Structure 1
Amino acid sequence: MTCPTWWRLNRAVRLLCASDAPLRTVAHRVGYRSEFTFGAAFKREYGVTRGACRRRVSQRP
């Protein structure tokens, strides 16, 4: 993964964990024009969907 992609996806994970912002908003905040492109990059890197990542974090005690 290239540095800008790594940075954008790591920032996205932090935003997903720290807010209830819609996935589309998170995608735009980290520099993706389309929610679909963001979702594909996220799943390719982390092996789970963005929604699944957010649900896992919200279920932690």
Structure 2
Amino acid sequence: MNALSTLELEQLIQAISAELTLRSTQPAKPLDAEEFAQVLNFELKRHRKQKEDVFNPFA
């Protein structure tokens, strides 16, 4: 696993927080532990893909 910088961790936490805030305002049931883990996993993968796209434009 690649280490994330402090800024990257802050961005990841903000993205997760925004997603959880959005979901909490919807009339759906709150996230359970499994759904929370899925959101975290998705945001981490999305963050890594964005990082690769920015830092490896020839991939």
| Normalised-by-shorter TM-score class | 0.3 to 0.5
Question: Highest CA radius of gyration, 1 or 2?
Answer: 2
TM-score (norm. length: structure 1): 0.33
